[in-house]
Amino acid sequence: MKKTLVLMAALAAGTAACLTTPVIPPTIYIEPPSPSATATLTLDERIAIREAWDYMRQGRTDKAQKILARLKPAQPFALAGLGYIALINNNPASAEDYLVRALDIQHDLISAYLGLGQTYQKTGQIDQAYKSFLEALKWDPENSFAKKETERIAAVKTSEAVAEAQAAAQAGQTDQSREAYLRALEYSPKLPEAHLALARIYIKQKDFQPALFHLKTASSNDPRNAALLQEYANALSQAGQLSRSLDAYQQAAAAAPQDQTIKDRIEQIKNRLGVVDLPDQFNAIASAEAVTREDVAALIGVQFREILGDINPKPPVIVDITTSWAQRYIVKAAALNLMEVYSNHTFQPKKTMNRAELAETLVRLIDVLKKNGANILPQIPADRIRIADVPPEHFYHEPITQAVAYQLMDLAPDRTFKPEQPVAGREAIRIFDLLGGLAR
Listing DSSP states for 189-218 in one string gives TT-HHHHHHHHHHHHHTT-HHHHHHHHHHH
Please list the alpha-helical segments (H only) found in 310-409.
Answer: 327-335, 355-371, 397-405
Q: For residue 190, give the 3-state DSSP assignment.
A: coil
> What pLDDT is attached to residue 16?
45
Q: Print the domain residue range for 72.
A: 43-141
The domain tally of the chain equals 2
Residue among 169, 195, 201 nearest 182 (CA): 195
The parts of the chain modelled with pLDDT lower than 50 are 1-3, 5-7, 10-21
Calculate the dihedral angle through the C-alpha atoms of 361, 367, 368, 373, rounding to the nearest 10 degrees: 140
> What pLDDT is attached to residue 15?
46
**pTM given for the model:** 0.57
Q: Which of 141, 171, 197 is the last residue of a domain?
A: 141
* CATH code: domain of residue 76: 1.25.40.10
Residue 393 lies in a domain: yes
Distance, in Å, from the CA atom of 37 to the CA atom of 347, rounded to the nearest integer, reads 63
Residues 6 or more apart in contact with residue 215 via CB below 8 angstroms: 195, 196, 199, 228, 231, 232, 235
Residue among 102, 93, 94, 100 nearest 75 (CA): 102
> What pLDDT is attached to residue 83?
94
Q: Which of 141, 163, 180 is the last residue of a domain?
A: 141
CB-CB contact of 17 with 89 (8 Å):
no
Q: For residue 354, give the 3-state DSSP assignment.
A: strand
Q: Left if phi > 0, otherwise alpha if psi is -120 to 50, otherwise beta: which for 256?
A: beta
Distance, in Å, from the CA atom of 51 to the CA atom of 44, rounded to the nearest integer, reads 11
Residue 118 lies in a domain: yes
Residue 410 lies in a domain: yes
Residue 264 lies in a domain: no
CB-CB contact of 419 with 399 (8 Å):
no
Residue 54 lies in a domain: yes
Residue 253 lies in a domain: no
First and final C-alpha spacing in the chain: 112
Residue 418 lies in a domain: yes
> What pLDDT is attached to residue 315?
85
> What pLDDT is attached to residue 21?
44
Q: Which of 141, 159, 189 is the last residue of a domain?
A: 141
Residue 363 lies in a domain: yes
> What pLDDT is attached to residue 405?
94
